[in-house]
Structure 1
Amino acid sequence: MLHNRERKSNRIFNNRRIFTNTLKLLVQHSISLFFGQGLLIGLSILLLTPFISLLYRLALSLTGYSYVTIKNFGYFLLNPLILILLIFLFAVIGVFLLLEACYLITFFTLIENDEKPYQFRVLLLSYKKLLFIFIRRKFTLLPMVWFITLLSNLPLFIFVMKRVRFIRFLADNIWDKPLAVPVAVIIIAVLSWFMIRRLFLFLYSLIEGKFSANSRRDKRKLSRDNENKENKVNKENNKDDANQFDLETDSRYCDSINQGYMKKTKSFRTLMYFLIWNIGIGFAVLALFIFTMAITAIFISGIPDKSLAFATFLTMIDKMNGYFIVGIFAINTTANFALFTHLFFQYKLELNENINIDHSADYIVIRVGSYKTVIQVTIAIFILVNFYFFFDIIRNGSPLDYMNLDMIKVTSHRGFSGDVPENTLPAIEKAIEEQADFIEVDVRMTKDGELVLLHDSNLKRTTGLNKNIWDVNYSDLSSLDAGSWKNKVYIGTPIPTLGEVFDLCKGKVNLNLDLKFHTNKEELEDKVVALIEEYEMEWQCVISSTNLPTLEKVKLLDPDIRTGYITYQIYRGYLADDIIDFFSIRSNLVTKTVSSEVHKSGKEIHVWTVNSKNELERMKRLGVDNVITDDPSYAKEVLYQEESNRFLITLLKIMME
């Protein structure tokens, strides 16, 4: 289809109107773009999350790691098998990025061509175009779309460097090096220049369906075609198959674009458009972030307890970072592809060239023919299965929960044992309210085999009954008062069963179950693992113990459950022991060397019981992974008050005064 030049003749190409025209286009179609992008990105997350979870689980099994943390991430990546998996993952994500590019370019091309961008039509054309690209085997578009997408998200990089602990950790180590900043600026400038030089070749490929002969197979085919040019022309004239294409014409056309077209359109001018446009996007995103945080701070400022208010605010910021990353990606990608497509059409008008929009993808329906119903049913089943696995991850957790590349996790000791009776449901409810990431509880077994929460072997301290737990049936235990010893407000609070704890905590908070071993005859491990599996909480529970045979038995029963060894000293032989996924150790025994050695072995280090500000800050400097404390909200206030959060904390303080 020829571009309707008469209807576009009144569009004057000048520097000042490029941005206003693009912005006007985005505003006019913002609702349609919001729903279209929401559907596309949501579907991508839905399909990719179970796949990435499965791939990460495979990576852990291949490396023998129990956890991936900031401190051992480099060692993890050095494994050749992990590099292969990463290349495969990048290729799969590249397909989704290419679909995103097809959608946006199709959407804006229809607008530039004065056609209505109906969502169903745009989505259908995008999927067809993606399939058509793979039919033509143009796999070189995958690295190209990665490259363009990454450089189109410069504001996102800045946000991630400031807000994500892992990236901030890497950046801080890089910026400390001499000449790091100027070298980074030069690299970004060179890559941006290279992107601009290849950008319009990419747009030609997706808009006009013209591809260069950039593979050996294509070049050999082109050579053969040149030798038999006359035969090929006659043959092509007699063909109706729209999927056949003139490789020689495409190649020469695209090569001329790459070599001469950008000279005419002035690459430097395009680069300036790109940089100025992204600076504007960056300021818009910053304003949106500050506005959102201010609204959040207004609501949080109503909490009377300042420590709880700070912990809640910082926890919400941590959770909102993920949503902001997705949102900024959508804004950046949409805005930049709108600019790129608009420039493409304007440059063509400036050069007085026709635009031949490629409709070859429409003929894919003919290719699938009678298999259309089978393909549709297969795709529907695939999406439904992914729905199941995705929501299973949301409800029950996944191996991704054990990739600790962000904040130090905070575990509330025996529930919230500072002001509330330990190991009771009120203590657990309070710990959830105080924004704990994990809750540590002690698990024992009664005489008749019921799993209950109790730290001491004897009931006297918390209930007044001078008997050991294994000598009492649950029917006698359930009538005891386990709350009044702490505060008369909690008179009549019973000792809870582990099942009651699971009912309360499932989907809300992770649990650290400290198994108090008594005798092998109890079969404590069997009952605990069976209950975890019954509630499908394998990824929400970790099991710790001072008894190594207990951990070994848990691993035999269910290898997926993470196990931790409570110890006062970490011997080198323990680091290679597969039954230990993390070490739980008294905080004053942890040194930089201990932390480093544990992380190199692919395990985590949890410390107990840390309540003072100085010790919390020391644990943060040592890079431990989990802090067990009696006051989780205060611990988070100390641990999370980093440079990147200082402005937000100040904002909350102003709101609370």
Structure 2
Amino acid sequence: MKKGILGNFILLLRYNLGTLILFELFHKGIALILVVPIIKYILESAMHNSGIIYLSTDNIFKILSNPISIVLLIMLLLTLGFYVFFEFTATIICFDKSIRYEKIGIFKLIRLGLQKSLKILNIKNYLLMIFILLIIPLTNLTLTSGFIGELKLPDYILDYIQSNNILNLLYMALMIILYMLVIRWIFSIHEIALNRSSFKEAKNESNRITKGKAIKIFLYSIGTFIVFSIIGYGIYYLIIILTALWTKYYRVGNDLSEIFISRAILFKDFSIFIASVSSFILNLGFISAIYYNYKDITFYKNRQKRVKLSIIKKVTTIIVILILVPIEAMAFSIHSNTLFNIEFFYNTTATAHRGGSIAAPENTLSSFKEAILAQAEYIETDVQETKDGELILIHDSNFKRTTGVDKNVWEVDYDEVKKYDAGNYLNLDYYGEKIPTLDEAIKYVRGRCKLLIEIKLNGNESPDIIEKVIKVIKENRVENQCVIASMNKDVLKKVKELDSSFLTCYLTALAYGDFYTWDYVDIYGIESTFVTKSLINDIHNKGKQIFVWTVNDQDTMSKMIDLNVDSIITDDPFLVNDTIYLKKNDFIKIIADYLF
């Protein structure tokens, strides 16, 4: 009699659960003490061979054009791919032993997993590397561990794609194709881990198994994610409540509210680590249960062949788990930037990207009004120069996207620019909105909001554009209310040469290495994907600030606030303030206020 998917799932988890947990702890421990240092060493070696000490958007092509550096980067990807595939293969092998009613120890599992993982290094299995490191993380079907996590395009790239109808359609089509590939190839990992040596053979078998079942598998994946999330959050909130009651009725000090908050925060960090361990096991376990069900593979318990773990081994396993879990939880929290803000006090502010551009046309006075209403600390805006030397606020070098006029900034005089409609592209409510000059913008926001002014070089501006920007700022006497920003370091150096009292901001989409000690930079504006706790600490320790861009989703905002960045550059400054309010009044704080 077939057990069915649920029966298989219970058996897969129950039979070798201790070994599974030990392996996950081992796998994450290896990441912290071995894999991460190796990857950092390879990356820094590639940078050294390219003659650079930091990595940012202005020198990324140096490393990509150096043959030795390219070889080192390939080694980096192979190391990462092997490590990730090792987790898949060892876990699947453990599940396979469980479905056969066979026990397996941690050392044997590690040995078999390492042997099977070598298949990913075979040149003919290059597509497996792409599948593991790119396709599965991009689709975010909860089949990635905490070390890799989900992979997503940076927000500024997504914004650019979504602003173009053709690119947006192509992107959506690509994502649909990737989802279909993951569903069709989902069992190829099991096949290559257990039965095949070639990924081509493995995916062909997976295609055969999933034929006509793709929608059902997709619904199973969504359903299990919802169920596991509900159970996980239910357990989390229950333990928080029990912790509060324990603190209240078993007094150990005077300030019970502070004691409870400290305990709750420690548990929150701990629960993030537990979730990273359990989610991979649970999701891969359920997919494995579907795999055995669809392949119609059933094993029956043979009591004569069954090997039992001795009581000593069981006790030893439990003790090792109890020792390793807290240690790795703390190390994982530090490494993964999950440490919570214990003070419940947040210093992060909002910087309105091109004004409140989610509600009003970007880089217009209407968008600035929205930013002021949202109580943003800064308004980020872009300055370029027209043919006759006027400084206007526009991001693109061409007017077409925001005005419909297919002309470049340096081709037209300001008298013509004044006739353009910069609001109709958003909606009719802003029909007739004009492109403001820098002088108009400063006069409008003076005393109500600070300005983060990015000087955008297009190669056709006058040599004295920096001097002209500084002159406008000084004429309006708002030097202490403006920061001059650029993706070009030379611009910031020139600003400091002209007037060292001006604050400067270096904008980069990529940040790694020794770049935060530059004396001509006061603020580092970094794309949120590359922001880490250690990077923030390094910048703050130098007495400088860090702004992150462009963050429009609440989850990333919440993470950045916990990391204590100085400001979040966003199209929606209202959402930043809402997120800070919610964090100041989250479940832990509500319970503390209610009980203490």
TM bracket, shorter-chain basis: 0.3 to 0.5
Higher normalized contact order (CA 8 Å, seq sep 6+, divided by chain length): 1
Q: Which has the higher helix share?
A: 1
Give TM-score, length-normalised by structure 2. 0.46
Structure with max Cα Rg: 1
Give TM-score, length-normalised by structure 1. 0.42
